[in-house]
Amino acid sequence: MRERVEVVLNKIRPFLQADGGDIELIEVSSDGVVKVRLTGACRGCPMGQMTLRMGVERIIRQEVPEVKEVVAV
């Protein structure tokens, strides 16, 4: 499952990088929780949590249905 999540993150990454940010995959647990770290401009952005929920999590869950939640660490 980790490899599939990484493939999805690689699709999302250019959009984050266009705004000066990035995302790093930390862990994919066996119970479907994906832990990521927002970096660059995304790290301190007030819209970071919305980007995570409405963008990153939505896309990952569409392409990897086993994922239950995406959390920032």
Topology at the third CATH level for domain 2-72: GMP Synthetase; Chain A, domain 3 (3.30.300)
pTM of the model: 0.90
CA distance between the termini of the chain: 19
What is the predicted pLDDT for the residue at 42?
86
Residue in the structure block whose two tokens are 């007030």: 46
CA separation, residue 54 to residues 7, 30, 47, 69 (Å): 18, 23, 10, 12
Q: Given this model, what pLDDT does residue 28 score?
A: 97
DSSP-based helix, strand, coil % in the chain, nearest 5: 45, 25, 25
Per-residue pLDDT of the chain (73 residues; tens, 9 = 90+): 999 999 999 999 999 999 899 999 999 999 999 999 999 988 888 888 888 989 999 999 999 999 999 999 9
Q: In this predicted structure, what is the pLDDT of residue 11?
A: 96
Domain positions in the chain are 2-72
Give the pLDDT confidence score for residue 43 in this predicted structure: 85
